[in-house]
Homo-oligomer: A and B are copies of this chain.
Amino acid sequence: MRLEYLHDFEDLVLSGLTLSDALDKIEGFHGSVAPGILMGGLMIDLAQELIGASILYNVVVETPYCLPDAVQIFTPCTVGNNWLKVVDYGRFAVSVYDKDNGEGIRVWVDLNKLEHFPDVFNWFLKRVPKKALPLEVLLPAILLAGREMFSYGHVQVFDLAWGVKKGDVGVCPACGESYPVNHGKICRACAEGPYYRAADE
């Protein structure tokens, strides 16, 4: 996909993809070229460069909005293969870390830097109505800001909570479906109440 208003950035390479291929992949997976995915792609590209090509990494994102898809588009890490975890802190930040020892890089949007890019800043903090910043303004502004709007730090990720294996599978005596026995004597849906009711109840 070529977007005329991104003409100045045609030579950009994002996680090994040309901008045109990256835009295709974003639209194909996410459904649209959302600004948050493009921003996320820039963050991931930076984190990948910093951690180095030789490291097998896992990823944590700190918001369920956009960023999980950026990771799933630009890395081999997905929710379902468990190399990507989502924690809902509501922060637009990503940690890419060595899956063997938890050492990695956290990249975040640094508001002190972002304020130098008013259009991106105003979109990011929802300071202006959405339609005041159409994609043909916002997407080039994001690419122009590039890595200048991020900060990063080296982190040690505590992986113990997530690294646990599924363990044994049992049959929930309440609902009769299978579940991981380390969840308790009955499955969580039966223990906590599910997100649905049967339509005939």
Contacts and interface: CB of A to CB of B under 8 A. Distances in A.
Interface stretch (A6-14, A43-51, A101-109): A101-109
A180 B72 contact: no
A174 to B, nearest CB: 11
Contacts of A171: 111, 125
B89 A125 contact: no
A30 B81 contact: yes
B65 A69 contact: no
Nearest to A61: B80
A199 B156 contact: yes
Contacts of A70: 80
Contacts of A172: 91
Contact of A87 (B66, B92, B195): B195
Contact-residue bracket for chain A: 35 or more
Contacts of A69: 78-81
A199 B95 CA distance: 12
How many copies the complex holds: the figure is 2
Contact of A155 (B68, B82, B95, B198): B198
B87 A78 contact: no
Contacts of A199: 103, 153-156
Contacts of A24: none
A137 to B, nearest CB: 19
Interface of A: 29-31, 34, 37, 60, 62, 64-70, 72, 76, 78-82, 86-93, 95, 97, 102-104, 106, 108-109, 111-112, 124-126, 153-158, 161, 166, 168-169, 171-172, 175-180, 183, 187-189, 194-200
Given A90-B166, A91-B177, A124-B178, 13 more contacts: A65-B82, A66-B80, A69-B78, A70-B80, A79-B86, A89-B183, A89-B187, A91-B179, A102-B196, A112-B176, A153-B198, A156-B198, A161-B195
